[in-house]
Structure 1
Amino acid sequence: MNGQTAREFTAQMSVRDGRWRLYVVLLNTTAAWPEHRFGRTVPTFTDRTDALSVLGFEPVPGTEWAWTEDRETPDNPASAVVLIAAIRVRSWSGVGV
């Protein structure tokens, strides 16, 4: 990275309307968050790593994807479940630096 230290960010993956989307959260910026859209099948670990690479990121060594469950409508316990995955990543391309 041209002598620069890699900055760490959180990458998240969620599904809406049957399609998976991976994005890197860039806080305190007006820049668009790097994003990759997948098809209707759950992306494999390799699919996710490849997509992060295309976006200029890689998982921080030793980290794993953490999956959590949320609701489409937070205040409604009968609402549809939304799965969200997250992992710490680092920029190797200077993105967000």
Structure 2
Amino acid sequence: MPKEFTAQIAVRRGCGRWRLYVALLNTTAPWPERMFNRTVPTFTQRTEALSALGYEPVPDATWTWEEHGETHGDPSSPVFLFASIRVRSRAGVVA
């Protein structure tokens, strides 16, 4: 059975580009990642990027979007937008 992981996408601070990565916990291995231009990547672009990294969403998984204020407790501060989804290694790919 393939291992499951969490993939996330967020705007990388300082450059304004979107970064998609798969969080590989309890390992020293580098986290697989893809960078996108400044516009929010479409569902198809995110799925293709995950596939290129050797992952796929688990069945029935959906992207969950959240926002967090840059300054905790200050509702007028800029927000940090990110999303996550459960993924698994694709068949024949060892993670």
TM-score (norm 1): 0.86
Can you give the 5+ residue segments of structure 2 that lack an aligned partner in the other structure?
none
Q: Residues 32 and 75 (structure 1 numbering): CA distance in 2 closer, same or farther, change over 3 Å?
A: farther
CA distance in 2, matches of 1:36, 1:13: 9
Q: Does 1:7 align with 2:3?
A: yes
Structure 1 segments, 4+ long, off by >2 Å, are 71-79
Given candidates 39, 53, 56, the residue that maps to 1:41 is 39
CA distance in 1, matches of 2:70, 2:54: 30
* SS of aligned partner of 1:18: coil
Amino acid at match of 1:11: A
Question: Percent identity, aligned pairs only?
Answer: 63
Amino acid at match of 2:83: A
Amino acid at match of 1:31: A
How big is the shift at 1:77? 4.3
Can you give the 5+ residue segments of structure 1 that lack an aligned partner in the other structure?
none
Q: Deviations over 1:35-90 (max 9, x none)?
A: 00000111000000000001000000101000011123446544320011000000
TM-score (norm 2): 0.88
RMSD over aligned CA atoms reads 1.3
Q: Work out the number of aligned pairs and report it.
A: 91
Matches of residues 1-97 of structure 1 in structure 2 within 5 Å?
A: 5-16=1-12, 17-74=15-72, 76-92=74-90, 93-95=93-95
Amino acid at match of 2:32: P
